[in-house]
Chain A
Amino acid sequence: MNSLKALPFAILLLATMTGCEESIEMQASIGEPAPSFTLLLTDGETMQLDGQPGNAKAITFMSSWCPCSNESIPLLKKMHARFKDQNIDFLMIGIQDPESKFKQFVVDYELPFPAGYDEENKIARTYGINSPPTTVFVDRSGTLRRIYYGNIKDMEGDVFGWVEEIL
């Protein structure tokens, strides 16, 4: 019976170990301005997306543990090499991952464009993203044009076409 008496205390202890997190409203809709965010990059700089006209954006949400994320990297690098001199910014955002693992992932894959860790998946939730990898395309007017869920490994023709659409 002692174990039963200890139950409320155990539940109380657990409740103190956690805490409700703020609800973050999903704001992303195709054809609407892309939700704004500020992201601390792995190199210490910050990147801001404020919904204002500027460079187009290709943003990929990734996790180090996800096989599809790993497989998508070569095409992302190729995409960056092809379009980097045009009016587009590439960005990788780490989600559902420990920060240290994501930072190591960025180093291991020698990413040629900026990457940052999404604390508590706040940006992902704003974009309605629940699983990696997901790639988001924002045009030069700041409008969200496309969200692609899944591995892009074998989709070079499609992905390059989507980038050209937002330039």
Chain B
Amino acid sequence: MAWATALWGGFSSFFSIWQVCILQISPFFMVYILGLYLTTEEDSRINAGVRLLLPPALYTLGFSVIYALLSSRSLDVGRLLISNINNLRIAAGFFIGLISLHFVLAARFRIMNRRLWPITLTLGPLLLGISFAFIYSPCVTPTYAKILQISVASDTAMQGARLALIYGMGMGLSFSVVGLALILATRAMSASYKPLVRYFSGAVLGVLALMNITGVMVYYKAFFLGLLV
């Protein structure tokens, strides 16, 4: 399989019927990227381009690396992650909870923003990408199915891992494009609504955190996604 095929497979899945399955994480990424932008918007020290582009890029990096490892059942590290996936999902829930708290509290305690913005814009999206890769049950699209067939054989495991990495990057790219479009669309929003949107983002991520910590995420998948299938 060509790398371009893997990249396109990941990218196009977002804009296809597979979005039904990607709804596991896509709405939560959108509220995150919007909430992050609004949380750091008032700080004039941060370059606007960096604020816009760095978080989606780091999210994509974190997501695609873990996505590739979880797809590599013939590699020791992939087997280790799969073996511990339930606990990793709980840990991911706690991290998402921290981001939720940050969005809610940063509006009240502006010193948090002034001190934490380098972490908020770098480590935050990187770890969120990793967290989303753990909580996501991948949709086995035709392209991803072919990648998994390659990665399950021990002699082609590394090739499968590389293709899964590219596929995950394609997915991250589609998330980033839509997220950036959402940010640009809301730039004209009245300033009075922005704190509300920020609180809303924090609340939605808080719900996602709780669902993963308590194991209720399966009910979200079964009842919400079940309505659409």
Contacts and interface: CB of A to CB of B under 8 A. Distances in A.
A130 B138 contact: yes
A148 B146 CA distance: 9
A30 B144 contact: no
Contacts of A128: 73, 78-79, 82
B149 A149 contact: yes
Contacts of B149: 148-149
A64 B79 contact: no
A65 B221 contact: yes
Interface in B20-76: 20-21, 70, 73-74
Interface string B88-106: 0010011001000100010
Nearest to A121: B86
Contact of B82 (A4, A14, A63, A130): A130
Given A23-B87, A67-B20, A98-B222, A17 B138 contact: no
A68 B133 CA distance: 20
Contacts of B74: 29
Interface string B106-147: 000000000000000000000000000000011111101100
Interface string A8-28: 000000100110110111101
A30 B152 contact: yes
- A96, A98, A150 — which one has the most chain B CB atoms within 10 A of its CB? A150
Q: Of A26, A96, A132, which is in contact with the most chain B CB atoms at under 10 Å from its CB?
A: A26
Nearest to B74: A29
A33 interface: no
A97 interface: yes
Contact of B83 (A14, A24, A96, A151): A24
Contacts of A120: 86
A134 B229 CA distance: 18
29 contacts: A7-B101, A18-B93, A20-B90, A23-B83, A23-B87, A25-B79, A26-B73, A26-B82, A30-B153, A65-B221, A66-B225, A66-B229, A67-B17, A67-B21, A67-B229, A96-B218, A97-B218, A98-B218, A101-B223, A125-B82, A128-B73, A128-B82, A131-B137, A131-B138, A131-B140, A150-B140, A150-B141, A150-B145, A150-B148
Given A21-B90, A64-B222, A150-B145, 11 more contacts: A26-B79, A63-B222, A65-B221, A66-B21, A66-B225, A67-B20, A96-B218, A132-B137, A147-B152, A149-B145, A150-B148
Interface of B: 17, 20-21, 70, 73-74, 78-79, 82-87, 90, 93-94, 97, 101, 105, 137-142, 144-145, 148-149, 152-154, 210, 213-215, 218-219, 221-223, 225-226, 229
